Structure 1
């Protein structure tokens, strides 16, 4: 490495996962062309990497907030492009960061522009933490509830959120830990496949979510009268059912879900309340990459024979935020929002708002993680195309993450000072 070349990550090389950083290089020759690289390994051992080529200014400096990349994983001015454009070295792999305990470690480096990788001139390591300083993490095994509770530092009181991120194959802590780092008490729960829970399920019981909500409301630092619920994909319809049938839910975020109960029958107090809307496997479209496209495989929820599956969203007493991606290839999320909005208006309801993102795919997550075009779908048993264009998807995640926090703060009001975790 050349000692006079410096690669700096500002304001600090340590930050929260959802925080932007400024990447700057100094000490290059005037107008020198260099390749910037980023590399990371997820918790499954899959390597992700990106690269972009820049030309230094007259002072031998490169600033990713100012300067455009002219080739590589992206082109143009993209301050966080090296992060969101990282791709797995293997096909159909989604970046796995389920545990909050270990940071997302990214190695940034700057190289001479040569054939191959080019000589490394400087490097720096960015530690992107999922959990802020002072946020407590408590595994929960109480009654039937299995999950992890995250609580911000300080006395509170804080608004409470139930995170239905993952419903099988383990428990994802990322979104919950980051929300707690932003001043919310968050319980993320599993439905199956975690700890001592069954590996698979054939039906879903709302009683489980009711128990989780009661547990959350009992926590000392919780100040909101009701709780918020945040979801994604299949858990979107579960969140809607929770908001429609259970009390104590003041704000629900639905992200790329369905307007009907999907895949499993839904029970409450041992009675079946909603049958499942099922998939037509013959409508799954294969592609050359080996992944399949499932956008049109879910049966039509508005067909006469499927109307019993529709969730009576007009029964929800709290506020609703519908977030949809217009290029979702998992299913037609935007169309399902239209169904719900029409139904709510027909019932004279105005307790909802919606936002949709052109060019975004199915997996909308906290920002600055690697974009995922395709990965294994547990229910389908094959890699599925998620849709989206990387740059548009990354911008959608930044906007959505801010929107979600503003929505919860506006509708989960509680007295007392709120603190914000800092790393």
Structure 2
């Protein structure tokens, strides 16, 4: 390494997962061309990498907030492009960072363009999921299996149930950093239980949050539910069938119970909306396009799969991505808005992200365009280009003593 070249991460080498850092290089020759690389290893020991080429200014400095990448994993001015473009050498790999206790560690390095690409400087960025004072407690109570994240302080805090298709702690602890008490749980706690789903354990989770001592009297108003993909039909069903759900954030989901029947109090309440696998399209990369393989929930034979959200008293925030290739989230959102409007309801807001894909996730994580589908056991394309929620939850789950500034 060159003792003269310095790579700095500002304001610090340590930050929260959803916070930006500024990369600056100093001590280069005037107009020198260098390559900046990033590498990171996920929880499955898969190595991800990215790189971009920059030309220093007359003073021998590169500032990623100012300067454009000339080529590499991306081009143009993208201050966090090295993080967002991290990619594995193997196709269809999703960056697994789902456990809250360990930081997302990224190594940045600066290399000469000439010769063997000698490394000139390096620095490590530790990106923490849990903020200072947030507590993490595994919950195994009754039929509840999950992890509870509690902000520092006595509360009362607005309470949120975070429903993932499979277990992930990432979104839940990031919300806890913003002042929410969040219970993270999964629709599928194991891959063997995919033939039917029961709503009862999720009702237990709602009741657990409502009666938590740090939620306090605010729990009588109700809790929030945030979900994406398969978790959305469970979230909608909680709003429709279970008391105590005040606000629902629906992200790239459906309006029906997809793939599995739904039971409540030992009775089937929704029939499954099924896939027509003859309509799956295999792409050149080997991943499958399944967007057009799901049956139409509005067909007469499938109407028993529709979640009756018109009976819900909850507030809804529907978030859909234009380029969702897993299923047509925008069409499902439009159908629900039409149905609620037809029933005289005004209890909803909508957000539409042009160019985004199925995996809408917290900012500054590696973008994933295709990966193994957990329910279907083959690789699928998610769509999207690398690229309100707190404000909505805070509005409808307000606790006067727990107001903190939203930054999303």
Name the TM tier (shorter chain).
Answer: over 0.9
- How does 1:76-155 map onto structure 2 within 5 Å? 76-114=76-114, 118-155=117-154
Give, in whole Å, the separation in 1 of the partners of 2:93 and 2:373: 11
Tell me, yes or no, if the aligned pair for 2:135 and 2:149 is still in contact at 8 Å: yes
Tell me, yes or no, if the aligned pair for 1:244 and 1:313 is still in contact at 8 Å: yes
Deviation at 1:308, TM superposition (A): 1.5
Instruction: Report whether the alignment pairs 1:415 with 2:400.
Output: yes
Deviation at 1:313, TM superposition (A): 1.2
Instruction: Report whether the alignment pairs 1:358 with 2:343.
Output: no
Deviation at 1:317, TM superposition (A): 0.9
Tell me, yes or no, if the aligned pair for 2:155 and 2:401 is still in contact at 8 Å: yes
Match of 2:193 in 1: 200
Instruction: Report whether the alignment pairs 1:29 with 2:26.
Output: no
Query: Secondary structure at the residue paired with 2:164?
Result: coil
Deviation at 1:199, TM superposition (A): 3.2
Match of 1:181 in 2: 177
Query: Secondary structure at the residue paired with 1:111?
Result: strand
Instruction: Report whether the alignment pairs 1:161 with 2:152.
Output: no
Deviation at 1:52, TM superposition (A): 0.7
The answer for unaligned runs of 5 or more in structure 2 is none
State TM-score, norm by structure 2: 0.96
Tell me, yes or no, if the aligned pair for 2:187 and 2:231 is still in contact at 8 Å: no
Give, in whole Å, the separation in 2 of the partners of 1:27 and 1:264: 60
Match of 1:211 in 2: 204
Give, in whole Å, the separation in 1 of the partners of 2:155 and 2:61: 45
Deviation at 1:417, TM superposition (A): 4.0
State TM-score, norm by structure 1: 0.93
Deviation at 1:357, TM superposition (A): 1.1
Decide which of 372, 376, 380 is 2:368's aligned counterpart.
Answer: 372
Output one character per residue of 1:322-341: Cα deviation in whole Å (capped at 9) or x when no partner: 11111111010011001001
Tell me, yes or no, if the aligned pair for 1:283 and 1:297 is still in contact at 8 Å: yes
Match of 2:280 in 1: 284
Query: Secondary structure at the residue paired with 1:416?
Result: helix
Instruction: Report whether the alignment pairs 1:12 with 2:8.
Output: no
Tell me, yes or no, if the aligned pair for 1:183 and 1:420 is still in contact at 8 Å: no
Output one character per residue of 1:309-363: Cα deviation in whole Å (capped at 9) or x when no partner: 1111111212101111111110100110010010011001111011111111101
Tell me, yes or no, if the aligned pair for 1:204 and 1:266 is still in contact at 8 Å: yes
Deviation at 1:206, TM superposition (A): 1.4
Deviation at 1:418, TM superposition (A): 4.0
Assess, with a 3 A threshold, how the Cα gap between structure 1 residues 238 and 205 changes in structure 2: closer, same or farther.
same
Query: Secondary structure at the residue paired with 2:215?
Result: coil
- Residues 332-341 or 183-192, more deviating: 183-192
Deviation at 1:378, TM superposition (A): 2.3
Query: Secondary structure at the residue paired with 1:349?
Result: coil
Tell me, yes or no, if the aligned pair for 2:165 and 2:229 is still in contact at 8 Å: no
Decide which of 229, 232, 235 is 1:233's aligned counterpart.
Answer: 229
Output one character per residue of 1:119-171: Cα deviation in whole Å (capped at 9) or x when no partner: 1111110000011111000000000100000000012111000000233xxx2
Assess, with a 3 A threshold, how the Cα gap between structure 1 residues 417 and 268 changes in structure 2: closer, same or farther.
closer
Deviation at 1:114, TM superposition (A): 2.8
Give, in whole Å, the separation in 1 of the partners of 2:314 and 2:360: 23
- Residues 218-227 or 298-307, more deviating: 218-227
Instruction: Report whether the alignment pairs 1:44 with 2:29.
Output: no
Give, in whole Å, the separation in 1 of the partners of 2:312 and 2:35: 52
Give, in whole Å, the separation in 1 of the partners of 2:401 and 2:189: 38
Output one character per residue of 1:94-121: Cα deviation in whole Å (capped at 9) or x when no partner: 00012111000000111111366x1111
Q: RMSD of aligned C-alpha atoms?
A: 1.4
Tell me, yes or no, if the aligned pair for 1:74 and 1:81 is still in contact at 8 Å: yes
Give, in whole Å, the separation in 2 of the partners of 1:371 and 1:265: 32
Assess, with a 3 A threshold, how the Cα gap between structure 1 residues 191 and 311 changes in structure 2: closer, same or farther.
closer
Report how many residues are paired.
403
Give, in whole Å, the separation in 1 of the partners of 2:353 and 2:189: 32
Tell me, yes or no, if the aligned pair for 2:139 and 2:147 is still in contact at 8 Å: yes
Tell me, yes or no, if the aligned pair for 1:25 and 1:61 is still in contact at 8 Å: yes
Query: Secondary structure at the residue paired with 1:138?
Result: strand
